[in-house]
Amino acid sequence: MSSGTVNEKVGVAKHASATGLVPNQVGFWGLVFQGLGGIAPIGIFFALIGTAEFVQGAMALVFLVGFVGVLMSANTLFWYSRKIANARGYYGYVKDGLGRHAATFTAYSYVLYAASNAAGLILFYLVGFSGSINLVFHTNFPWWAGIIFAGSGLAVVFYGMWSGLKPSIKAMIALGVLQMIVLTVISLIFIAKAPDNSVKPFAPYTGVSGLFLGFVTGGYLAYGGYGSIVSLGEETKAPNKTVGKALITILVIGAFAWVIASYATAVAWGLGNMKSFVTAEVPAAILTNRYIGVGATAIMTLLYDLVIYTLLNNFLTSGSRVVFAMGRDRLLPASLAKVNPKRGVPVAGIAVITGITILLAAVSTAVLVAMYGVPNGIIDSYIVLGILTTLLALLVHGMASLSIIWSGLRKRFGQLNAKRILLLVLIPIASIILTVAAIYYAVLGITFPFEAAPIVFVLFCIVLIVVLALRRDRIPALEAIGETE
């Protein structure tokens, strides 16, 4: 089948007849800011220390290289989005190339990924909220004030998702635009007042090995969350055209944000002083105080706390659609495909993915707090969930890349020519190699309790594979929904 063959009317008809989800709820820019919510641009200012440890001031180069690397992974989603638009998301793509068994494995992996990501974010804000407020406003909020903030954030996100996709998307657009404005203005002021403007941040002056480590541990993973929009295919206007364009746009905006913020922060700090940058508590806040003022620091910090909404919304919205699709496909109880007839949202899916998120956060925290106390146990739990999320994200992307290679070789996108061999075979192979490298460095040298994450990951995969093998004849066929011919 030719990748350029798109029958929008047939696609919409299939959506309307096969599901209670409401088509045409979100357009191009809605998708862009929904995906950008997973990157949370304002958070870039607070996330540069880890990369600077490897490359010092050459962070902008790392994120440029990361952009090229993640485009390889996005290539898979782009091609599949032109022929498949349904709530299955990644597992719908994997079904096309590798069949229903691999698709089912991917489906369960994605649900755990979305929930563990959201759980980790809740714990991050739970333990970090008070510190961020105290740092800027010189208050003395106790750590447990973060419980109230994180719990309130989750409740607001839950209400937003429950209220309908349209109002939820509007909130994502508003917060996304505000973040980009604040990030761009602060970055430009940093650059204008910086003592050390040069092209040096775009050169690997600390060595190629440091650049590679910065790339696989930071630059390649910096764009996480952009692919969450593929599970909104049934609710998107002209999805076979819109989703792919939105994916690329998210990455372009994300690359702009990472590059300008990392460059501005490095030159404003001073390229010769990057060792002190790595040990500073919140370098961006220090620079904002120095070059702009405490008011700007307060705005940046408060906005950083508020984007708990965009982060949780991104992962829980996509996870709820996948749970819904699994219920519809009978991979989970059929009751989980329940849709609110008035709002057109998968209420059962929203409730289940939120419940799993709370359970993961509670269980991991209870275990590690019992071992290490408060707040260390909470911090360790956040890190463990973060590593688990990274491994699951890489697994899901790797499955999609394997799938498109097989789809391409089977001529699912038309006759193979030099262009399609490059885009459907060679680039996905390169993406898989990067994924394996990223997995390796994600677990390299970690110690207890953080090594619990790869152990849980491996056990989850083994148990899931065994269960699916034992029940292979009972896994239902996945009917074509939102697939163009």
Compute the CA torsion angle 329, 333, 335, 339 (nearest 10 deg): -40
| Identity of the residue numbered 29 | W
Q: What pLDDT was estimated at residue 46?
A: 85
Q: What is the DSSP string of 155-223?
A: HHHHHHHHH-HHHHHHHHHHHHHHHHHHHHHHHHHHHHH-S--SSGGGS-TT-HHHHHHHIIIIITTTT
> pLDDT class for 272, splitting at 50, 70, 90?
confident
13-68 per-position pLDDT tens digit:
343 434 589 999 999 999 999 999 999 999 888 888 878 888 888 899 999 999 99
Backbone angles phi, psi at 483, to 5 degrees: -110, 125
How many CB atoms are closer than 10 A to CB 174?
12
Nearest to 312 by CA among 143, 141, 457, 171: 171
Cis-peptide, bond into residue 449, ω within 30° of zero: yes
Per-residue pLDDT reduced to its tens digit, 157-172: 999 999 999 999 999 9
Give the separation between CA 189 and CA 186, rounded to whole angstroms. 5
Cα separation of 329 and 475, whole Å? 9
Q: How many CB atoms lie within 10 A of CB 36?
A: 30
Percent of the chain with pLDDT over 90: 71
pLDDT bucket at 431, cuts 50 / 70 / 90: very high
pLDDT at 5: 34
CA 328 to chain centre: 25
Q: Using 50, 70 and 90 to split pLDDT, how confident is the model at 416?
A: confident
pLDDT of residue 19: 58
Which domains are delineated in the chain? Answer: 18-474 (1.20.1740.10)
Amino acid at residue number 114: A
Query: Would you say the pTM of this structure is higher than 0.85?
Result: yes
Strand partners, 26: 236
For 405, the enclosing helix (H) or strand (E) is helix 376-409
Q: How many CB atoms lie within 10 A of CB 474?
A: 8
Q: What integer is the mean pLDDT of 189-209?
A: 87
- Residues pairing with 236 in the sheet: 26
3: nearest Cα among 481, 411, 409:
411
Residue 357, pLDDT > 80, answer yes
Other Cβ atoms less than 10 A from the Cβ of 196: the count is 15
CA nearest 305: which of 184, 145, 140, 138?
145
Q: What is the rounded average pLDDT for all residues in the chain?
A: 90
**Selection from 319, 394, 341 nearest residue 114 by Cα:** 319
Alpha carbon of 208 to those of 54, 62, 88, 91, 379: distances in Å?
A: 10, 11, 39, 36, 32
Q: Which residues contact 143 (CB under 8 A, 6 or more apart)?
A: 127, 130, 131, 374, 375
pLDDT (average), residues 177-190 = 96
Longest dimension (CA), the chain: 67
In the chain the first and final C-alpha atoms are separated, in Å, by 7
pLDDT attached to residue 110: 98
CB 6 within 8 A of CB 482: no
Eight-class DSSP state of 26: B
